[in-house]
Amino acid sequence: MAAMNDSETLQDSLHGEIESFFDSAPPLKDGPDISRKVKEFIERTSLSAGGKGASRVVCITSGGTTVPLEKRCVRYIDNFSSGHRGAASTEYFLEAGYFVIFLYRRGTCQPFCQSLPEDPLLECFEVKESNVQACQSHSEEIKRAIGEHCDALKRGLLLKVPFTTIFEYLQILQLIAISMKNLGRYAMFFLAAAVSDFYLPWKSMEEHKIQSASGPLDMHLVQVPKMLSVLRREWAPMAFCISFKLETDSKILLEKADTALKKYKMHAVVANELLTRKEVVVVVTGSEKIPVHRDKTVASADVESPLIKLLVEKHSSQIDA
């Protein structure tokens, strides 16, 4: 029997880690329902293309994943992400003619709601003569938000799928990616979600709330297997894949983005720093590092607008190659 080389051994151990992650994960509560909705959505995208080639579909991940510490979860570890990047990018991809699967963390920013106050229900409406109506000061934003959201849903351009835990996120991402496999190069992944690096396996988790009377807490967290490799290699190998690299230290950011690009064979890695993430990002590809800035002359302009324009161009080149 031929001896395994280093890369085969690495792939084998990654497969083992991934298998054990999925085997030990609690089954998705509404798995069959999510699966049906995703399949129907993707079927509709193919139908709508008619005879004109294929439609482009992007899966946008948004928000942070949680790591539960108890099965009947009271406490959890969280990952920072407001969901602004994913929500704003959803609007720009829809504008560019993409179908969007928006895989988002429950409670984070939603597309079309960027200009609304934090608590729109309580801050944008008032009661007048026993009727609820939109406040004059917010009526235009509300009309736009509701109108564009309903339109995207009605025309079947947007599918929203929520997650909370790292277990839900990775199971749903796998389900979506495998369903998108047949779209080939017309599929795109825009992985802006902040994904936990460590988790507590379900089988080693306490059933009930951890008791503080037991003294200091000692917990062994296991590394979350790097699903980016398997997404590229097996789940949807032809899809155009963009991942994100977040750092707080600018000195290591571009190097780490470059390493991720090569290690996971991404088409581009968007590098961003926590404090400046709304002003500038750097798109790192195999041949260039392109800084993308927000247009500072327009108060409401965001960095996602030029970023999505650039990524759509890159995706077009990939499709035509």
- Interface positions with ligand 9Z3 (CB under 6 A): 81-85, 191-192, 194-195, 243-246, 272, 277
Minimum Å gap between C-beta 206 and ligand 9Z3 is 27
Based on CB atoms, which residue is closest to ligand 9Z3, 137 or 276?
276
How many Cα atoms within 13 Å fall on the side-chain side of residue 214?
A: 5
Minimum Å gap between C-beta 16 and ligand 9Z3 is 21
Based on CB atoms, which residue is closest to ligand 9Z3, 42 or 109?
109
Which residues are CB-neighbours of 267 under 8 A, at least 6 positions away?
240, 241, 242, 285, 314, 318
> Cα(231)–Cα(266) distance, rounded to whole angstroms?
10
Question: 61's torsion region: left (phi>0), alpha (psi -120 to 50) or beta?
Answer: beta
Q: Please name every residue paired with 270 in a beta bridge, in sequence order, or none if there are none.
A: 244, 283
CB atoms < 10 A from the CB of 210, how many?
Answer: 13
Minimum Å gap between C-beta 263 and ligand 9Z3 is 11
> Cα(169)–Cα(163) distance, rounded to whole angstroms?
6
Give 159: exposed, middle or buried? Use CB within 10 Å, 0-12, 13-18, 19+.
buried
Minimum Å gap between C-beta 242 and ligand 9Z3 is 11
Helices (H), 166-246: 166-180, 227-230
Based on CB atoms, which residue is closest to ligand 9Z3, 45 or 272?
272
Based on CB atoms, which residue is closest to ligand 9Z3, 194 or 200?
194
Which residues are CB-neighbours of 157 under 8 A, at least 6 positions away?
94, 99, 100
Based on CB atoms, which residue is closest to ligand 9Z3, 55 or 81?
81
Minimum Å gap between C-beta 244 and ligand 9Z3 is 3
Minimum Å gap between C-beta 240 and ligand 9Z3 is 16
Minimum Å gap between C-beta 65 and ligand 9Z3 is 9
Based on CB atoms, which residue is closest to ligand 9Z3, 83 or 225?
83
Q: Nearest-5° angle of CA 284, CA 185, CA 271?
A: 15
Based on CB atoms, which residue is closest to ligand 9Z3, 141 or 304?
304
